[in-house]
């Protein structure tokens, strides 16, 4: 079976700076991958590269065996920010409906098939109850759900979510993660999930892709989230504190946890 | 009273005004809705004003002012589109181009002295002076624009709302915005025949802006926008017939009133935040 994502010795340069280099990873279909790393590490850049939105300077990146941009109809994408629609009076339902087969020609006439798909995606994302209110008045957490619905609309084989937990409270973080996990079980989609705190994802992730210092490490939590492996990535002394249910990454020098740094 | 109003329609120029006004209002309402969701209001405003240079230049080169405006607005629109998403949303970039273009317009005006009299009607509109051939041109242009827009409106809606996502599905944002800006160039030119270059904002952005404040669906927004546009143009022309005040005044006054009512309702009745 072709892997969902196969990355070999990938390098990305942007604005004259080497953002990522020597990244290799193979992600299988149906996996739930948590992507972590400090601000500016290149997490969003990697997602954009696999969508074909930013050029690769060296190495190879294949999505379902095809080069980036060639398999995008089977990828659902939730961008880190939706600035362009912050003020819109359009309802969540209209937004999701605009995304459905958004790349087709003609007029955006909502057929009954389209209305069903939209209702289903909203249902799946748990956003049905406020689907007809204007998007601009929804709370950040509700907006996240709508954006999730939007990413599910064209029945993707791969869903890439860029920090869906930002601006959610701990309870809603948990609910959203459970929700996405349930979705994955039902539909068998591959999930790439960027977050800053590892803990909400501990129970559901198959593996972790940790990006720092231009490089990346892929493996299970126990393999990657260890003091030696993170020290190598960050290029500075890092410690990992594990309790029964929690993991904290701390810099040995500054005694702040990774989660606390970025919250 | 009603008889008196209807008797106005026995005049050719009133019928022409109604016809040209309706076409411009419909095109303006539809295109304006995309202007609102794409957030390119200033670029739209600038495209109309750049038309002034086209009109004054046309006189120098022996073209009609409609041809001149159309040409320059479409070319400027295409250039804005090609320059990329960031640039034509940048107030600085658009403002720079606009002021330079108007400067050139002033030069043309100075070179061709006979034009000064026409300038007022270009700036403030002269709907009662629309000729039969202008109406035919207006109709053809509006139909072409609407057909073209219909061909890619689904893409345009998607790309306007979520550009990053659209790009990730292989839509060329530059191509799309260039095509849209050319159509916008046509819409502002047609609208400027009705209310004049200076007041185009009223007809192209006003109705859609009011509609976009309330309507939660794409089609309801478009429909309400068209209705507001038609209502203001029709009422404006009738009131102009009755009072002898300029139709441009009435149309802007009606749209401004609707805007105030809409804003009040949105804030205090529907409690929508800005
Ligand atoms: N278009 C660009 N031109 C130049 N540099 C860029 C560009 N886009 C991103 N970068 C740089 O690439 C680096 C990685 O950015 P990226 O957005 O991928 O970080 P991230 O890991 O997603 O961070 P965050 O946690 O803040 O979202 C940053 O240093 C950023 O400044
Ligand atoms: Mg990011």
Closest ligand to residue A79's CA: 2
Return d(Cα B51, Cα B47) in angstroms, integer: 6
Q: Which of B250, B234, B242, B243 is nearest to B17 (CA)?
A: B234
Contact A102 B158 (CB under 8 A): yes
On whether the CB atoms of residues B184 and B237 are closer than 8 A, the answer is no
Burial category of B2 from C-beta neighbours within 10 Å (exposed 0-12, middle 13-18, buried 19 and up) = exposed
Burial class (CB within 10 angstroms; exposed 0-12, middle 13-18, buried 19+) of A169: exposed
Is A260 a residue whose pLDDT tops 50? no
Q: What share of chain A is helix, strand, coil (3-state, %, to 5)?
A: 35, 25, 40
Helix, strand or coil for residue A130?
Answer: helix
Per-residue burial over B168-205, b if 16 or more Cβ lie within 10 Å, else e, is: bbebebeebbbbbbbbbbbbbbbbbbbbbbbbbbbbbb
CA of A259 to the centre of ligand 2 (A): 15
Tens digits of residue pLDDT in A135-153? 988 888 889 899 999 998 8
The pLDDT of residue A258 is 56
User: What is residue A69's DSSP assignment?
Assistant: T
Degrees (nearest 5) of the Cα angle B50, B231, B1? 125
Cβ-proximal residues to A52 (8 Å cutoff; 6+ apart), any chain: A67, A68, A69, A70, A72, B168, B170
Q: Is A79 in contact with B162 (Cβ distance < 8 A)? A: yes
Domains of chain A, each with CATH number or no CATH: 5-262 (3.40.50.300)
Do the beta carbons of residue B182 and residue B169 sit within 8 Å?
Answer: no
Q: Which uninterrupted H or E stretch holds B117?
A: helix B116-124
Please list every residue in chain B whose beta carbon sits closer than 8 Å to the beta carbon of residue A131: none
Structural tokens at position A99: 């995304």
Q: What is the pLDDT of residues A154-174, one digit of tens each?
A: 889 999 999 999 878 888 888
CB A69 within 8 A of CB B170: yes
Q: Nearest residue CA, atom 13 of ligand 1?
A: A40
**Model pLDDT, residue A261:** 41
Question: What is the predicted pLDDT for the residue at A89?
Answer: 80
Question: CB neighbours of A113 closer than 8 A, spacing ≥ 6?
Answer: none
- Nearest-angstrom CA–CA distance, A254 and A242: 18
Nearest Cβ partner of B164 from A79, A90, A91?
A79
What gap in Å lies between CA A66 and CA A158, rounded to an integer? 13
How close is the Cα of A79 to the center of ligand 2, in Å?
Answer: 9
Q: Is the CB of A212 under 6 A from ligand 1?
A: no
Residue A255 confidence class, pLDDT cut points 50, 70, 90 = low
With CB atoms and an 8 Å threshold, state whether A84 touches B274. no
Q: What is the pLDDT of residues A187-199, one digit of tens each?
A: 889 999 999 888 8
Contact B154 A108 (CB under 8 A): yes
Contacts of B12 (CB under 8 A, 6+ apart): none
CA distance readout (Å), B115 to B64, B119, B246: 12, 6, 21
pLDDT of residue B272: 67
Interface probe for A, chosen from B159, B165, B170, B270 (most Cβ of A below 10 Å), is: B165
Contact status of A82 with chain B (Cβ, < 8 Å)? yes
Query: What percent of chain A has a predicted confidence (pLDDT) above 90?
Result: 39
Taking contacts as CB-CB distances below 8 angstroms, the residues of chain B near A82 are: 162
Count of CB atoms situated within 10 Å of the CB of B1: 6
Lookup: tokens for A195? 């977050």
Does residue A37 line the site of ligand 1, with CB under 6 A? Answer: yes
Paired tokens of A256: 């702040």
DSSP A1: -
pLDDT of residue A263: 34
Measuring from atom 10 of ligand 1, which residue has the nearest CA?
A14
Going by the DSSP 8-state scheme, the letter that residue B206 receives in this structure is H
Closest CA to B39 of B89, B97, B3: B89
Strand partners, A240: A249
Q: How far is the CA of A66 from the centre of ligand 1 (A)?
A: 25
Contacts of B96 (CB under 8 A, 6+ apart): none
Using the predicted structure, report yes or no on whether residue A104 has a pLDDT greater than 80. Answer: yes
Beta carbons of B237 and B17 less than 8 angstroms apart: yes
- The pair of structure tokens assigned to A53 is 């939105």
Query: Which chain B residues are closer than 8 Å to A51 by Cβ?
Result: 168
pLDDT digits (tens, 9 = 90+) for B109-165: 888 776 667 778 888 888 888 888 889 999 999 999 999 999 999 999 999 998 888
More confident residue, A228 or B182: B182
DSSP assignments along A74-111, one per residue: GEEEE-S--GGGTT--SBHHHHHHHHTTTT--S-----
Chain A residues close to B179, C-beta within 8 Å: none
Which of B164, B265, B271 is the best mutation test for A, with the most CBs of A within 10 A?
Answer: B164
- Position A241 pLDDT exceeds 50: yes
Which residues, listed in sequence order, are joined to residue A257 by a DSSP beta bridge?
A250
Q: Can you give the pLDDT of all 274 residues of chain B as single tens digits?
A: 677 777 777 788 888 899 999 999 999 999 999 999 998 899 999 999 999 899 888 888 888 888 999 999 999 998 888 887 666 677 888 888 889 999 998 898 888 776 667 778 888 888 888 888 889 999 999 999 999 999 999 999 999 998 888 888 888 899 999 999 999 999 999 998 888 888 888 899 999 999 998 888 999 999 999 999 999 999 999 999 999 899 999 999 999 999 999 989 888 877 666 5
Going by CA atoms, what residue is nearest to atom 29 of ligand 1? A40
- Closest residue by Cα to atom 18, ligand 1, is A42
pLDDT given for residue A262 in this prediction: 40
Q: Is the CB of A14 under 6 A from ligand 1?
A: yes
ipTM: 0.86
Is residue A248 predicted with pLDDT exceeding 70? Answer: yes
Q: Which of the 8 DSSP states describes residue A217?
A: E
Residues ≥6 apart with Cβ < 8 Å to B150 = A106, A107
pLDDT value of residue A20:
92
Residue A104 near ligand 1, beta carbon < 6 Å: no
Q: Considering the entire predicted model, what is its pTM?
A: 0.89
Rounded to the nearest 5°, which phi and psi values hold at A120?
-65, -45
Q: How do beta strands A32-36 and A190-194 pair?
A: parallel
Q: A250 - beta bridge partners?
A: A239, A257
d(CA B29, CA B202): 10
Q: Which of A25, A58, A29 has the alpha carbon at shortest distance from A43?
A: A25
Cα of A19 vs centre of ligand 1, distance in Å, is 8
Among B217, B185, B203, B194, smallest CA distance to B259 is for: B203
The answer to whether B30 and B82 are in contact (CB under 8 A) is no
Mean pLDDT of chain A, nearest integer? 86
Q: Report residue A249 as tokens.
A: 């990454």
B123–chain A Cβ distance below 8 A for any pair:
no
Contact present, B250 and B257 (Cβ < 8 Å): no
The vertex-B166 CA angle with B162 and B169, nearest 5°, equals 150
Q: Which secondary structure element, helix H or strand E, spans residue B105, and what is its range?
A: helix B91-111
């Amino acid at each position: 079976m072709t892997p969902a994502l196969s990355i070999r010795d990938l390098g990305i340069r942007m604005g004259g700076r080497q953002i990522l280099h020597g990244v290799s990873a193979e992600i299988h279909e149906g996996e739930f991958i948590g992507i972590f790393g400090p601000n500016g590490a290149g997490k969003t850049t990697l997602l954009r590269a696999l969508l074909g939105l930013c050029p690769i300077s060296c190495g190879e990146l294949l999505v379902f065996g095809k080069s980036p941009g060639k398999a995008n109809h089977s990828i659902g994408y939730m961008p880190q920010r939706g600035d362009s629609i912050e003020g819109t009076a359009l309802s969540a339902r209209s937004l999701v409906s605009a995304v459905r087969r958004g790349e087709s020609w003609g007029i955006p006439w909502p057929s009954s098939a389209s209305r069903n798909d939209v209702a289903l995606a909203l249902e799946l994302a748990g956003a049905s109850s406020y689907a007809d209110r204007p998007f601009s008045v929804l709370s950040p957490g509700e907006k996240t759900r709508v954006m999730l619905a939007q990413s599910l609309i064209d029945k993707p084989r791969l869903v890439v979510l860029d920090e869906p937990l930002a601006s959610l409270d701990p309870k809603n973080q948990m609910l959203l993660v459970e929700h996405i996990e349930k979705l994955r079980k039902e539909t068998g989609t591959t999930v790439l999930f960027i977050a800053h705190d590892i803990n909400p994802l501990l129970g559901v992730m198959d593996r972790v892709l940790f990006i720092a210092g231009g490089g990346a490490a892929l493996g299970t939590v126990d393999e990657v989230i260890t003091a030696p492996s993170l020290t190598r990535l960050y290029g500075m002394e890092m410690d990992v504190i594990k309790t029964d249910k929690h993991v904290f990454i701390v810099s040995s020098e500054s005694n702040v946890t990774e989660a606390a740094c970025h919250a | 009273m009603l008889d008196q109003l209807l008797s106005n329609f026995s005049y050719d120029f009133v019928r022409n005004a109604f016809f040209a006004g309706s076409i411009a209002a419909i095109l303006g309402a539809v295109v304006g809705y995309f202007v609102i969701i794409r957030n390119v209001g200033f670029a739209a405003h600038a495209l109309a004003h750049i038309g002034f240079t086209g009109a004054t230049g046309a006189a120098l080169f022996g073209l009609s002012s409609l041809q001149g405006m159309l040409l320059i607005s479409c070319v400027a629109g295409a250039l804005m589109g090609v320059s990329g998403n960031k640039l034509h949303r940048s107030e600085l970039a658009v403002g720079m181009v606009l002021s330079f273009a108007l400067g050139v317009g002033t030069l043309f005006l100075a070179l061709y002295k006979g034009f000064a009299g026409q300038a007022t009607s270009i700036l403030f509109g002269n709907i009662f002076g629309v000729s039969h051939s202008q109406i035919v041109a207006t109709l053809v242009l509006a139909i072409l624009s609407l057909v073209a827009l219909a061909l890619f409106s689904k893409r345009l809606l998607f790309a306007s709302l979520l550009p990053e996502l659209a790009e990730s599905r292989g839509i060329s944002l530059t191509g799309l915005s260039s095509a849209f800006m050319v159509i916008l160039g046509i819409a502002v030119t047609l609208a400027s025949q009705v209310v004049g270059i200076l007041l185009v904002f009223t007809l192209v952005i006003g109705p859609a802006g009011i509609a976009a404040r309330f309507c939660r669906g794409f089609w309801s927004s478009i429909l309400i926008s068209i209705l507001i546009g038609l209502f203001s143009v029709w009422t404006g022309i009738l009131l102009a017939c009755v009072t002898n005040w300029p139709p441009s005044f009435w149309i802007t006054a009606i749209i401004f009133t609707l805007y105030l009512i809409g804003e009040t309702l949105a804030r205090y009745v529907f409690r929508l935040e800005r």
